[in-house]
Amino acid sequence: MMKRYVLLFAFCMNFMHVGVASAFTLVTEIEVADSADAPMLTEAVANSSDIPGPEIIVINPDSINKTLKNPFTVEVMFKSIEGSSIDTSSFKAYYGSLNLDITDRLLKESKMTPTGFKLSNINVPNGNHKITLLVKDNMSRQCEKVLRFKIE
């Protein structure tokens, strides 16, 4: 009889877990720890140019330097200058100090368009995070945007 209750409990817990699993994990706790343990690298500064390139604008969260709660949403807009267009195939996303390539994970859960993307129901472990976004236009001019945020 006790075995039946244990099996019934386990069966019910399986269904409860499925209902909660709507958000996806963008980075794991191990990846966060590895990035936190890595030495800070000096970021290369692009040479300034008289010719402007594309721009990455963070729509949501409304401030990229704020505390967030899981799950959260990121919405980004790409802006090209007149006479050029965004090359969405050039888009890259890197996590943390180690610049772990999370592009495929991000693209799998969002829809990329020439004007940007929206990613909903993101889960990351508690702590401080850095995501670097890169995109080029059809003239190979690159733009970079660093998102820093804290999850509580």
Contact 23, 121 (CB under 8 A): yes
Q: Domain 23-151 adopts which CATH fold?
A: Immunoglobulin-like (2.60.40)
List strands edge to edge, sheet with 127-137.
67-68, 142-151, 127-137, 86-95, 100-101
pLDDT for 4 beyond 50? no
3-state secondary structure of 89: strand
- Predicted pLDDT of residue 43: 43
Mean pLDDT of the region 127-143: 93
150 or 14: which leads in pLDDT: 150
Helices (H), 21-118: 29-37, 103-109
Angle, vertex CA 61, rays to CA 57 and CA 62, nearest 5: 70
The pTM of the full predicted model, rounded to 2 decimals, is 0.71
- Predicted pLDDT of residue 138: 95
- Predicted pLDDT of residue 22: 62
96 or 35: which leads in pLDDT: 96
pLDDT for 39 beyond 70? no
- The model's pLDDT over 77-125, given as tens digits with 9 standing for 90+, comes to 999 988 899 999 999 999 998 899 999 999 999 988 999 999 999 999 9
Which range is least confidently modeled, 14-23, 26-35, 50-59, 69-78? 14-23
Contact 56, 145 (CB under 8 A): yes
